[in-house]
């Protein structure tokens, strides 16, 4: 009876030992990969491109993915992105903050430790969109476009690009290698309606477009020249000037504004032109007698109002 029991138990014991040995062997073999090596980064204008070499030792199974983690030592947001292979693109870091990136590899057994970190870099992007933007007709075939300075992306803005639109049709863009935030756009068609978009540039490229400006019609009057004011009575000045070009549409009115440098009341006067009263002069009354004034004038036609003149020499009202 005892011998029979031994023949039953012994094979079971051997099987248990074999299973335990197999499990131990599998546990020893179940190794995650080594970390990747040679981690480098470069900016692409919107994100940081993290490049690396796969580890020489994959562990006991093929690598299934990689995790790039970019951390800052001066308050920037940490960003982690997974990918199947090099490179991995990491976006959303804090502009102008200092970072390094490290990469870990994963297989079926687990994830390696982090690689050696990349060289330190400052996260930079292309500029943001200029805002606000506006445009005014200027001279024959010319518009003046004005905009606000956008976020520079962490590196200095080097210039701007202005793209005109005639209706919905984009026109050739104009590049201005200047940091000025107002430019004259020339070569436009008189009588046509335009809108404009503005883009900023830095060392990484051209940034996002602004909103379009409100539509304007090119061909408002030019700028009146040689404005001069003379006193015609107490509190009344007559402003004379050289009439500007109408740029394809008849001038319908002139507007004069006189401002005082010593406490007098300011006043604006508009003269609507008629066949019998179209001379380039406007009388502005209601000013403060004895106070000193300078005046400017602008012309209007059916397309809008042109630029103001230079100020007149100072004169007492």
Q: Tell whether 15 is covered by a domain.
A: no
Q: CA–CA separation, 203 vs 209, rounded Å?
A: 17
Asked whether residue 97 falls in the same domain as residue 157, the answer is no
Provide the pLDDT for residue 32. Answer: 95
Question: What residues form DSSP beta bridges with 137?
Answer: 143
Q: 260 with 311, same domain?
A: yes
pLDDT, position 225: 97
Range of the domain at 157: 133-217
Same domain, residue pair 91 and 112: yes
Nearest to 184 by CA among 222, 241, 127: 222
* Whether residue 213 sits in one domain with residue 140: yes
Pair (173, 234) in one structural domain:
no
Single pTM value for the model: 0.66
210 and 231 share one domain = no
* d(C-alpha 307, C-alpha 298), whole Å: 6
Q: Are residues 229 and 310 in the same domain?
A: yes
pLDDT on residue 284: 98
| Percent of the chain with pLDDT strictly greater than 90 | 80
Of 196, 217, 238, which marks where a domain is finished? Answer: 217
Q: Is the pLDDT score of 118 beyond 90? A: yes
Asked, for residue 230, whether it belongs to a domain, the answer is yes
Confidence band for 15, pLDDT divided at 50, 70 and 90: low
pLDDT digits (tens, 9 = 90+) for 202-253: 999 999 999 999 998 888 888 999 999 999 999 999 999 999 989 888 999 9
Cβ-in-10-Å burial (0-12, 13-18, 19+) of 154 comes to buried
How many structural domains does the chain have? 3
Residue 260 counted as domain residue: yes
For residues 111 and 50, membership in a common domain is answered with yes
Q: Which element (helix H / strand E) includes 108?
A: none
**What does the pLDDT look like over 61-103, one tens digit per residue?**
999 999 999 999 999 999 999 999 999 999 999 999 999 999 9
How far apart CA 178 and CA 160 sit, in angstroms, is 7
Residue 74 domain flag: yes
Q: Which sign does the torsion angle of CA 282, 287, 293, 297 carry?
A: negative
Q: Is residue 88 part of a domain?
A: yes
In a domain, 29, yes or no: no
182, 217, 252 - which closes a domain:
217
Do residue 89 and residue 138 come from a single domain? Answer: no
Q: Which of 156, 189, 217 is the last residue of a domain?
A: 217
CATH assignment of the domain containing 51: 2.60.40.10
Q: Is residue 66 part of a domain?
A: yes
Asked whether residue 178 is domain-assigned, the answer is: yes
Its sign, for the CA torsion 201, 202, 205, 211, is negative
Q: Are residues 143 and 182 in the same domain?
A: yes
């Amino acid at each position: 009876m005892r011998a029979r029991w031994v023949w039953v138990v012994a094979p079971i014991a051997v099987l248990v030992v074999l299973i335990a040995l197999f499990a131990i062997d599998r546990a020893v073999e179940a190794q995650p990969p080594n970390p990747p090596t040679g981690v480098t980064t470069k900016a692409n204008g919107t994100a940081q491109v993290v490049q690396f070499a796969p580890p020489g030792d994959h562990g006991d199974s093929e690598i299934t993915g990689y995790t790039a983690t970019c951390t800052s030592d001066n308050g920037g947001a940490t960003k982690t992105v997974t990918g199947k292979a090099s490179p991995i693109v990491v976006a959303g870091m804090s502009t102008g903050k200092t970072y390094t990136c490290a990469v870990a590899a994963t297989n079926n057994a687990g994830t390696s430790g982090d690689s050696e970190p990349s060289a330190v870099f400052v996260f930079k992007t292309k500029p943001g969109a200029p805002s606000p933007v506006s445009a005014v007709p200027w001279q024959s075939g010319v518009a003046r476009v004005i905009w606000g300075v956008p976020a520079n992306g962490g590196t200095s803005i080097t210039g701007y690009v202005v793209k005109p639109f005639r209706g919905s049709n984009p026109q050739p863009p104009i590049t201005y290698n200047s940091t000025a935030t107002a430019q004259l756009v020339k070569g436009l068609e008189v009588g046509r309606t335009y809108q404009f978009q503005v883009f900023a540039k830095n060392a990484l490229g051209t940034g996002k477009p602004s909103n379009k400006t409100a539509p304007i019609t090119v061909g408002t009057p030019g700028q009146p020249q040689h404005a001069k004011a003379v006193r015609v009575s107490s509190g009344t000045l007559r402003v004379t000037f050289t009439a500007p070009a109408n740029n394809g549409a008849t001038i319908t009115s002139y507007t004069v504004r006189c401002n005082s440098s010593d406490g007098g009341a300011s006043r604006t006067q508009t003269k609507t032109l008629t066949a019998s009263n179209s001379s380039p002069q406007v009388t502005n009354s209601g000013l403060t007698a004895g106070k000193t004034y300078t005046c400017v004038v602008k012309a209007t036609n059916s397309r809008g109002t042109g630029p103001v003149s230079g100020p007149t020499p100072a004169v007492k009202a």
